């Protein structure tokens, strides 16, 4: 997976908990604490998962707390800096989420080995969206965290519920 995920997690841990915690998270995952990542670099999925689990342990967070914090930071701090253009076209959480399948495809077309998550959408009523998640990685908890982050970005009350390992329900207030 693209190193961006690890860089974003590192920024979050360093900013909110300090450099030492990030060093410990890297070491707990079997990496050198001075390991450097560049955004286009490919990092093995297992390594990303190890770093996330190690960070949870070091910070004493549950996976849900960690993936919520990650999704919030990714959507509200990291992606607006790195991927500003994708935020321009959308005016609501609904618009933004409906663009996410296209965005993930577009952002990774020129990157060898990228296997972006793909999403398909189904409305069960005018406020309730089922998002089906297709990925080889099974990171649906990150999906839930990112969707919550999108609610915050657009300042909207949205409810997100994991229905299975490949489906979430998103209820919009309007
Ligand atoms: C403009 C905003 C966003 C950009 C540019 C972006 C881009 C990316 C990129 C480059 C990856 C790594 C893909 C790879 O290495 O193959 C990724 C992973 C991921 N993204 Fe996003 N993302 C954005 C917002 C979101 C949002 C809002 C969601 C949820 C609705 C989301 C869900 C995920 C998930 C779950 C993964 C983990 C990889 C997987 O499950 O296979 N992203 N994203």
Q: What would the pLDDT profile of 12-49 be if each residue is shown by its tens digit? A: 999 999 999 999 999 999 999 998 899 888 899 999 99
61, 79, 109 - which closes a domain? 61
For ligand 1, the distance from its centroid to the CA atom of residue 29, given in whole angstroms, is 22
Query: Which residue range is the domain that position 26 belongs to?
Result: 4-61
H runs (alpha helix) in 18-44: 19-28
Q: Mutate which of 63, 72, 146, 150 to test ligand 1's pocket (most atoms within 8 Å of Cβ)?
A: 146
The verdict on residue 49 lying in a domain is yes
Whether 97 and 57 map to the same domain: the answer is: no
Whole-angstrom distance, CA of residue 146 vs CA of residue 75: 6
Whether 57 and 99 map to the same domain: the answer is: no
The verdict on residue 131 lying in a domain is yes
Whether 117 and 166 map to the same domain: the answer is: yes
Whether 113 and 165 map to the same domain: the answer is: yes
Whether 105 and 158 map to the same domain: the answer is: yes
Residue range 54-111, pLDDT digits in tens:
999 999 999 899 999 999 999 999 999 999 999 998 999 999 999 999 999 998 887 7
Give 157's contacts (C-beta < 8 A, 6+ positions apart): 151, 173
Total number of domains in the chain = 2
Single pTM value for the model: 0.94
């Amino acid at each position: 997976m693209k190193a961006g995920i690890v860089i974003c997690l590192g920024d979050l841990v360093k900013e909110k908990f300090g450099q030492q915690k990030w060093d410990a998270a890297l070491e707990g995952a079997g990496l050198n604490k001075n390991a450097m990542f560049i955004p286009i670099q490919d990092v093995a999925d297992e390594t990303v998962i190890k770093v996330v689990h190690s960070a949870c342990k070091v910070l004493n967070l549950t996976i849900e707390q960690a993936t919520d914090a990650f999704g919030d930071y990714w959507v509200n701090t990291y992606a607006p800096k790195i991927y500003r253009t994708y935020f321009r076209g959308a005016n609501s959480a609904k618009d933004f989420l409906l663009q996410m399948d296209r965005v993930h495809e577009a952002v990774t077309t020129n990157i060898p080995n990228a296997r972006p998550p793909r999403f398909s959408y189904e409305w069960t009523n005018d406020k309730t969206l089922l998002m089906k998640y297709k990925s080889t990685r099974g990171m649906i908890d990150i999906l839930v965290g990112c969707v919550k982050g999108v609610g915050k970005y657009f300042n909207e009350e949205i409810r997100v519920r994991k229905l299975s390992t490949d489906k979430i329900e998103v209820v919009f207030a309007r």
